[in-house]
Structure 1
Amino acid sequence: IIRLAGTMEGLNGDVIHKYDIRFKQPNKEHMDMPGLHSLEHLMAENIRNHSDKVVDLSPMGCQTGFYVSFINHDNYDDVLNIVEATLNDVLNATEVPACNEVQCGWAASHSLEGAKTIAQAFLDKRNEWH
């Protein structure tokens, strides 16, 4: 499920739209950390290829999803398409970006296949995102 979690207006009129991308049902299931960690790297690397309005993509500590924030972009259907395109990038990835001790705080905790499994499962439920 992808839903608008909140908006915030800046002093100059810019509006931040924060979306909750919920991969797993809270308190029922969660993403495995190595897969989630790799999914974070892959999504953060690729999402900006689909929109120049992305401010931030952050994993939830509860391991059930991510938050993504856009500036001055409130087209919900476009947000869904951006997430879909980004997850398709994950499926086509051959390596996890920045998966090394210089760029990552826990480089040993990654799984490309785990990230692909999570992405595919979420894409399989595309008609349930809204």
Structure 2
Amino acid sequence: MDDRIDVASLGWPAGLVGELDHRRLKAPSVKLRSARAGEHGDVTYCVDLRIRHPNADEYLTSTELHSVEHFLLEGFQRLLPEHFVSVGLMGCQTGFYLGFVNEGRSEVLCACLVRILEEMQAATVVPYANIEQCGNWRNHSLDDAQRVAREILARREHWLDAA
């Protein structure tokens, strides 16, 4: 963590920022994993969107991960086009890493996440789930993605209580 960045002023609980013992992690939750200031003043943020409890046999299927990833990618690109960098799957199949530049306020990022998850409920297709835009376009399920979105939304009042 970069000491020049005041994570508390961004709305993140300071004691829950960075790498934490995975046995303590709650899910679903949203926590700041890292913040780094570049030499020209830009700040990159990595946010941990934990959907399932680590090491508790509650893993997301590859289809769930893949479909939710597409919604997160489309949603953050649309809602935060100047700040969104990337969404990465956690190899442990418990969530996602979300990358942003120059936007690390928990209130803004969580509000965008709520909007994406709520919009998923009205979706009729998974974004980019076609042969032109996806390398495994048949591995998607709108129903699974919507169910996972409801699971995440159900705990939104506790997202920042990550451990």
Q: TM above 0.5, one fold?
A: yes
**1:10 lines up with 2:22 in the alignment:** no
> In terms of mean alpha carbon deviation, does 6-15 or 118-127 score higher?
6-15
- Asked whether the 8 Å contact 1:57–1:66 carries over to 2, the reply is yes
Residue 141 (structure 2) aligns with: 111
What letter is aligned with 2:99? S
Residue 48 (structure 2) aligns with: 20
Residue 70 (structure 1) aligns with: 100
Residue 48 (structure 1) aligns with: 77
Offset of 1:10 from its aligned partner? 1.8
Q: Alignment identity in percent?
A: 34
Residue 155 (structure 2) aligns with: 125
SS for the counterpart of 1:92 is coil
Structure 1 CA distance, aligned partners of 2:93 and 2:32? Answer: 19
Offset of 1:98 from its aligned partner? 1.7
Q: Deviations over 1:3-53 (max 9, x none)?
A: 000012222110001100000001111112212211111111112222231
What letter is aligned with 1:16? T
Gaps of at least 5 residues in structure 1 are none
**1:39 lines up with 2:45 in the alignment:** no
Q: TM-score, normalised to structure 2's length?
A: 0.75
Structure 2 CA distance, aligned partners of 1:12 and 1:50? Answer: 25
Gaps of at least 5 residues in structure 2 are 1-28
Offset of 1:105 from its aligned partner? 1.4
Q: Between Structure 1 and Structure 2, whose CA radius of gyration is higher?
A: 2
SS for the counterpart of 1:96 is coil
Alignment size in residue pairs: 130
- Asked whether the 8 Å contact 1:50–1:85 carries over to 2, the reply is no
What letter is aligned with 1:104? C
Structure with greater proportional helix content: 1
RMSD (CA atoms): 1.2
